[in-house]
Chain A
Amino acid sequence: MPKLPPKLQEIVDDFAGMSREEKLETLIGYAESLPALPDRLKAERDKMEAVPECMTPVFLIAEKQDDGGIIFHVDIPPQSPTVRGLAAILLNGLNGTTLEEILTVPTDFYLPMKLEEAVSQQRLHGFVGVLQHMKHAALQWA
């Protein structure tokens, strides 16, 4: 199994050692810490198609820095704290890494976190969704 980028690995290890309550609180902390979308990207977001079925609309954009690292910006409504929390973990773990590192993150990387203790297994599909979205957005810099 490929190694995870160090920061993401650190977050995974942290969660692995937490109690259910700590996981819940930490996930909420991540959801609340998700940075707002920079103003310069808001016009781009407004072009996004409305998602039918009132699903969580996830706006995500990848930018490449001068040093080659990729930075993600996301916009997710406050009504969806679980998806915000999962996205914030990925942002914290992957921002600044390279395209190659991002593409090699396995879709089941989160299993050791045992997050299903805090939010049910079903919700964790959101992780896969956001990660795939990030990989797809990052590919424009291939």
Chain B
Amino acid sequence: MSYVHPEYLVDTEWVAAHSTDLDVRVIESDEDPLLYAIGHIPGAAQVDWFSTLQHPLRRDFLTREKFEEVASRLGITNDTTIVFYGDKSNWFACYALWLFQYYGHKNVKIMNGGRLKWEKENRPLVKDVPSYAETKYRAKEADKSIRAFRDEVLKQSNAKKPLVDVRSPKEYSGELISMPNYPQEGATRGGHIPGAVSIPWAQAVNEADATFKTPEELRTLYEGKGIKSDAGEVIAYCRIGERSSLTWFVLKYLLGYPKVKNYDGSWTEWGNLVDAPIEK
């Protein structure tokens, strides 16, 4: 058994051989924004999930026009193969990939294992920031089939359709509102969306080298909790939508579920929403 869409993954060896190819752009997307400056894969560019990819005022992504500017500045054409990698088991790499898909870039991949595996293999990290010839990137209309908004999440919950809560167990139970050791802020209520099953995102990756678990292990993990590929649309959420973008990637590409959405409003929206139902 293999992943359903193995073309969405590359290994570190592939990246080492192709990181400076003209039709490939390797992009680092981290939780810790200083890591890129300290050392990155030769030829790699950086996006920051917050300062590069969010709207400067509203709680939303940057606009389609701004996205085109970012992609053009990174020398990306509509045909470029983009490989994302990052720290923390590729959380923010998956987040960036999800957003590039949202604006219609099809040819995207994750470097399996991310920074951790690259470092463990003692591969080179460089400090020089490459410059790219600017392009005229054209983004597509936002693809809302991969992004869930609160009203459809409520409908999903009321209809008892699959919802996956990928936060830590204590966030799911409502004991904590944020991750352990993170500031306890951002939501005025704790708990989870009624009907959501708890499958912490980290169970999808191997702790030792941040690679994804095998297809068999992943299938057992999600199907064992009742999240089956024939169950229709699946919505994943966490606190702000970054951890759940990893789960979205796993369900959509590694396991090939037909319809998966990431609810990026996540708990910081739901836990503040007046009249929203909550389970503890």
Interface residues of A (CB under 8 A from B): 24, 27-28, 31, 51-56, 58, 79-83, 85, 118-123, 125, 128-129
Q: List 28 A-B contacts (CB under 8 A).
A: A27-B34, A28-B34, A31-B38, A51-B180, A51-B181, A52-B202, A53-B200, A53-B202, A54-B88, A54-B202, A55-B179, A55-B181, A58-B181, A79-B87, A81-B32, A81-B34, A118-B33, A119-B33, A120-B33, A120-B48, A120-B50, A120-B51, A122-B50, A123-B32, A125-B182, A129-B181, A129-B182, A129-B183
Secondary structure type dominating chain A contacts:
helix
The 3 closest A-B pairs by CB, nearest first: A81-B34, A120-B50, A125-B183
B229, CB-defined interface residue at 8 Å? no
Complex alpha-carbon distance, A138 and B20, angstroms? 50
Q: Which residues of B contact A129 (CB under 8 A)?
A: 181-183
B46-86 with Cβ < 8 A to chain A? 48, 50-51
CB-defined interface of B144-185 with A at 8 Å, one 1/0 digit per residue?
Answer: 000000000000000000000000100000000001111100
- Residue among A24, A55, A80 making CB contact with B37, cutoff 8 Å: A24
Complex alpha-carbon distance, A100 and B12, angstroms? 51
A54 near B89 with CB under 8 A, answer yes
Q: Which residues of B contact A120 (CB under 8 A)?
A: 33, 48, 50-51
Q: Which residues of B contact A82 (CB under 8 A)?
A: 32-34
- Point out which of A27, A53, A56, A118 has the most chain B C-beta atoms below 10 A from its C-beta: A53
B38 near A128 with CB under 8 A, answer no
Q: Which residues of A contact B50 (CB under 8 A)?
A: 120-122
A80 near B180 with CB under 8 A, answer no
A52 near B38 with CB under 8 A, answer no
Closest to B210 in A: A54
Complex alpha-carbon distance, A120 and B200, angstroms? 26
B142, CB-defined interface residue at 8 Å? no
Secondary structure type dominating chain B contacts:
loop
CB-defined interface of B10-39 with A at 8 Å, one 1/0 digit per residue?
Answer: 000000000000000000000011110110
A53 near B33 with CB under 8 A, answer no
Chain B interface residue count: which class?
20 to 34
B168 near A52 with CB under 8 A, answer yes
Closest to B127 in A: A28
Q: Which residues of B contact A79 (CB under 8 A)?
A: 32, 35, 87, 115-116
Q: Which residues of A contact B207 (CB under 8 A)?
A: 54
Complex alpha-carbon distance, A129 and B35, angstroms? 20
User: Least Cβ distance of B185 to chain A in Å?
Assistant: 8
CB-defined interface of B192-215 with A at 8 Å, one 1/0 digit per residue?
Answer: 000000001010000100000000
Q: Which residues of A contact B35 (CB under 8 A)?
A: 79, 81
Q: Which residues of A contact B37 (CB under 8 A)?
A: 24, 28
Complex alpha-carbon distance, A75 and B38, angstroms? 19
A123 near B33 with CB under 8 A, answer yes
Complex alpha-carbon distance, A58 and B182, angstroms? 11
Q: Which residues of B contact A80 (CB under 8 A)?
A: 32
Q: Which residues of A contact B181 (CB under 8 A)?
A: 51, 55-56, 58, 129
Q: Which residues of B contact A128 (CB under 8 A)?
A: 183
- Point out which of B32, B35, B48, B183 has the most chain A C-beta atoms below 10 A from its C-beta: B32
Other than the given A79-B35, A125-B183, 4 more pairs (CB < 8 A) read A28-B34, A54-B207, A81-B38, A121-B50
Q: Which residues of A contact B182 (CB under 8 A)?
A: 55, 125, 129
Q: Which residues of A contact B48 (CB under 8 A)?
A: 120
User: Least Cβ distance of B219 to chain A in Å?
Assistant: 23
Q: Which residues of A contact B115 (CB under 8 A)?
A: 79
User: Least Cβ distance of A60 to chain B in Å?
Assistant: 12
Q: Which residues of A contact B34 (CB under 8 A)?
A: 24, 27-28, 31, 81-82, 85, 119
Q: Which residues of B contact A31 (CB under 8 A)?
A: 34, 38
Q: Which residues of B contact A24 (CB under 8 A)?
A: 34, 37
User: Least Cβ distance of A45 to chain B in Å?
Assistant: 16
